[in-house]
Structure 1
Amino acid sequence: MTDLIYPTLDLFLYALKTSLNTTDAETQKSKAAFLAQLSHNIQFNDPEIETEYLELTHPAQINLISNNKSIEGYYYPVRLNDTYGLQIDCSINNQTETQPAKSFAILKTEIEQKLNKELATIGKTWLLSGWLPENSSQNYEDIAKDCYYALFKDTSWQPKKGTFLDGKVFEIWRSEIKNCNQNKVPNALNSHERHVIIAIYPDRESAQQAAEFYKDWMGLFCYRSKISWAYQQSRLVKESLLNHYKKIEENRRITNQNHYWKEKQNITNSRQILSNIDNILQQYTIDLLNLSFQKAIIEINLSNYQIRLDLIKEKAGQKNQLDFLEKFSEIANKKYLAQITKDIENMQLGLQLLEDTINATRSRIEVEKAERERNFQELVAVAGAGIATISLVRETAKDCKDVFSKVSFFCNYPLSASLIVGIIVSFVVWWLRKRWRY
């Protein structure tokens, strides 16, 4: 048997109150979506001040109303700087009799029915807990595994293990980043990232002592969620940067074709291409700054995560072994930050290449423009010489004056004669100007 006394399921979920470039209307919308999680007619107090930890309602805990009389629980909403945090606690209302592990499925269903699906969350953590009956010989990990499978029907049981207040703690974390629109904040309630903590305590006293750490877990899981969310956002930003780069490369390949500049209409097309590249480069620069912004988010929240974890260890004293929670710090530092730093370096090189592409395209356009203007000037000069010659010859030949009086062709056909002479003069002028140019 894998039975527990007072099985309790807590969902810690987090939503941004404000984010980069958020408008007042969007901030109010986020606040309304968060409030929709809670019961009506509550006193909600969220002053516009910076605060590390602020309880948002009075009383701080709001009773969870359920149609199932065997279930009790509460909501606990807070704000941690720019992030809303909400703990939804749900328990089997019986602290004397053992309950099967499958009770957690009932609690999970109850919590999910209370969730506002419109709330755009950035992360969540499931915390399962309970204590063993007196003189129990059950294996801690077997109980934890059955509790986990009561909630999630997969086969990914590969926990990290530790101890906390004489209890056994198991952490299961699975992360899978999916491609999605960068402008749409992924909803962590439906995301493929799963973070689960299972704590099995030897007795009621240990479990009650552990309940005093809920505020600490609220902060720790918040920092953790923001780190994971920022890294996910960085992957979307990187994808956007690569798409921008590909678009500029496509335009560059078009303008680099040998026959491209030989076609007259392409000088106009090139100006449009240059305008497109400028616009893309502007978005590229913004995304590059955003990538650095996500790195900064990870850095500050990683520091806060480590500080909070150290405080939890100090508060728990010798009755803990929470080193497994340090592994997330290692991953964030050695993988997340290292990857983003490398991406920023590579994308900055890409920015230099893009700027070189724009400068080369702009120079090519100016060269072609100057060449076309020079050719036009040549045409005007040659045509002018020809027209002047035609006019002069025609008037002179028409009256058969001077030298043309001795040539009957000029007198008989003054128009044709003037055209021929004009063409010859134009050719001579063109040939002389060409020789002088080179």
Structure 2
Amino acid sequence: MSDLIYPTLDLFLYVLKTSLNTTDVETQKNQAAFLEQLPSDTQFHDHDIETEYLEITHPPQINFIPHNKTLEGYYYAVRLNDTYGLQVDCSINNQTEIQPTKSFTILKTEIEQKLNKELAIIGKTWLLSGWLLENSSQNPEDIAKNCYYALFKDTSWQPEKGTFLDGKVFEIGRSQYINQSLKNDTSSLNSNEHHVIITIYNNRESAEKAAEFYKDWMGLFCYRSKISWAYWQSRLVKESLLNHYKQIEENRKVTNLSNSRQEKQNITTYRKNLNNIDSILQQYTIDLLNLSFQKQIIEINLSNYQLRLALIKEKAGQNNQLDFLEKFSALAKKKYLPQINKDIENMQIGLKLLEDTINVTRSRIEVEKSERERSFQELVAVAGAGIATVTLLQSPAKDFCSKESMKDIFPKIPYFCNYPFSYSLMVGIIVGFMVWWLRKRLR
């Protein structure tokens, strides 16, 4: 048998009220989406103040009417600084008779029916609890395992273990975001990825005392969710940075390939490449700042997580073993933060290379521009010499041919006097060519 008295399932979920660069309209939209999880007649009071913990409904605990009449439950909503937290509690409405562990399937169905499954959350935790019959010989881990499989059938049982208020506690944590893609940046309530805490108490007194820790769990799970969320965000930002870098590399390779083939690139092409690189570089810089911002989120919430866990340990007493909850903070310190630090270091090197690429492209534009200006000056000089020659020769040629004495001197070139402009133009072209040749030799 795997039975419990008063099986209770709590879902803690978290939604960002504000985030980086969030506008007032977006903040109001986030608030409205969160309110959709609560009954329509809920009295909502979210004062615009910075606070670590604020109950935002009146009354703070709102009972709901379950679809299954054998159940009971309530909502409890708070704001923790920039994040909304919601606890949805559901239990079998019977505190005297034992219930099968498969009851948790019914409880989960009831909770999910109360929620908008399209809500974009940053994290969630399932908390399962109940107590044993007096002098029960059942193995608490076997019961906890059956409770877990009542909720998640296609996952393996690999828990962390401890004790809490003379009961056995088990934690199963899986990243909610590891399989998410850049195009899917929301977390569905139906996600198979999850964080689960199961506590099997020895008696009713311990379970009732555990209810005093709900506010502490609300804070601890929030900090945990924000750390995981920020780390996942940093992975998306890193992916975006790499994509930006690849795009700039493609632009640079096209330019270098043309230069290696000694192909003439016009200024318009260079400027187009430069504008493309410049635009991508702006996004790259923004993403790099965002990466540092995610690091700060992890650092702040890691500190809060450790402080909250210390308070829970102190409140629970010395006979409790909750050290397994410290493994998550160790993960954040030993993996998340070093990884982001390394990414920031590498991406800053990438930023320097991108800036060098822009400088090289700008230099090429200046070189091409100088060559064009020199070619234009060359054209002006040659054309000027030719035009000046034509202008100087045309009038004297007419005067020269008008003299009777000259007609006898040039009897073999009759067209010289008949077409003085053509001959002047021919001489001008010859002079222009000689000017071009001399400028080229003297360069």
Name the TM-score, length of structure 1 as normaliser: 0.94
Q: Per-residue displacement from partner, 1:160-180 (whole Å, max 9, x unpaired)?
A: 111111111111111252353
Alignment CA distance shift 1:188-1:217 (3 Å): farther
Among residues 413, 420, 423, which one is paired with 2:426 in the alignment? 420
Structure 1 position 155, deviation (Å):
3.3
Q: Per-residue displacement from partner, 1:330-374 (whole Å, max 9, x unpaired)?
A: 111111101110111111111111111111101110111011011
Structure 1 position 118, deviation (Å):
3.6
Aligned residue number for residue 67 of structure 1: 67
Aligned residue number for residue 225 of structure 1: 225
Structure 1 position 91, deviation (Å):
0.3
Alignment CA distance shift 1:232-1:191 (3 Å): farther
Q: SS of the counterpart of 1:321?
A: coil
Q: SS of the counterpart of 1:257?
A: helix
Aligned residue number for residue 35 of structure 2: 35
Larger deviation: 409-418 or 204-213? Answer: 409-418
Larger deviation: 266-275 or 139-148? Answer: 266-275
Aligned residues: 436
Q: Per-residue displacement from partner, 1:155-212 (whole Å, max 9, x unpaired)?
A: 3211111111111111111125235347x74125244531011111111111111111
- For residues 421-436 of structure 1, the aligned pairs below 5 Å read 421-436=427-442
2:90 maps to 1:84: no
Aligned residue number for residue 140 of structure 1: 140
2:183 maps to 1:177: no
Structure 1 position 46, deviation (Å):
0.8
Aligned residue number for residue 340 of structure 1: 340
Structure 1: gaps (5+ residues) = none
Q: SS of the counterpart of 1:189?
A: coil
Contact 1:404/1:411, CA 8 A, preserved across alignment: no
- For residues 320-331 of structure 1, the aligned pairs below 5 Å read 320-331=320-331
Aligned residue number for residue 251 of structure 1: 251
- For residues 277-426 of structure 1, the aligned pairs below 5 Å read 277-398=277-398, 400-401=400-401, 406=409, 408-409=412-413, 410-411=416-417, 414-426=420-432
Q: SS of the counterpart of 1:125?
A: strand
Q: SS of the counterpart of 1:220?
A: helix
Contact 1:237/1:287, CA 8 A, preserved across alignment: yes
Distance in structure 2 (CA, Å) of the matches to 1:135 and 1:24 = 57
Q: SS of the counterpart of 1:241?
A: helix
Structure 1 position 262, deviation (Å):
6.1
What is the CA RMSD across the aligned residues, in angstroms?
2.1
Q: SS of the counterpart of 1:63?
A: strand
- For residues 124-273 of structure 1, the aligned pairs below 5 Å read 124-175=124-175, 176-181=177-182, 185-191=185-191, 193-259=193-259, 266-273=266-273
Distance in structure 1 (CA, Å) of the matches to 2:280 and 2:322 = 47
Structure 2: gaps (5+ residues) = none
Contact 2:227/2:298, CA 8 A, preserved across alignment: yes
Larger deviation: 17-26 or 394-403? Answer: 394-403
Larger deviation: 278-287 or 100-109? Answer: 278-287
What amino acid maps onto 1:107 in structure 2?
L
Distance in structure 1 (CA, Å) of the matches to 2:427 and 2:307 = 95
Percent identity, please: 77
Larger deviation: 56-65 or 171-180? Answer: 171-180
Contact 1:2/1:142, CA 8 A, preserved across alignment: yes
Aligned residue number for residue 10 of structure 1: 10
Larger deviation: 240-249 or 297-306? Answer: 240-249
Distance in structure 2 (CA, Å) of the matches to 1:413 and 1:23 = 80
Q: SS of the counterpart of 2:11?
A: strand
What amino acid maps onto 2:67 in structure 1?
N
Distance in structure 2 (CA, Å) of the matches to 1:128 and 1:83 = 23
Q: SS of the counterpart of 2:189?
A: helix
Distance in structure 1 (CA, Å) of the matches to 2:157 and 2:431 = 93
Distance in structure 1 (CA, Å) of the matches to 2:68 and 2:152 = 22
Distance in structure 2 (CA, Å) of the matches to 1:344 and 1:121 = 26
Distance in structure 1 (CA, Å) of the matches to 2:108 and 2:251 = 53
Contact 1:254/1:260, CA 8 A, preserved across alignment: no
Larger deviation: 53-62 or 398-407? Answer: 398-407
Contact 2:119/2:188, CA 8 A, preserved across alignment: no
Distance in structure 2 (CA, Å) of the matches to 1:80 and 1:297 = 14
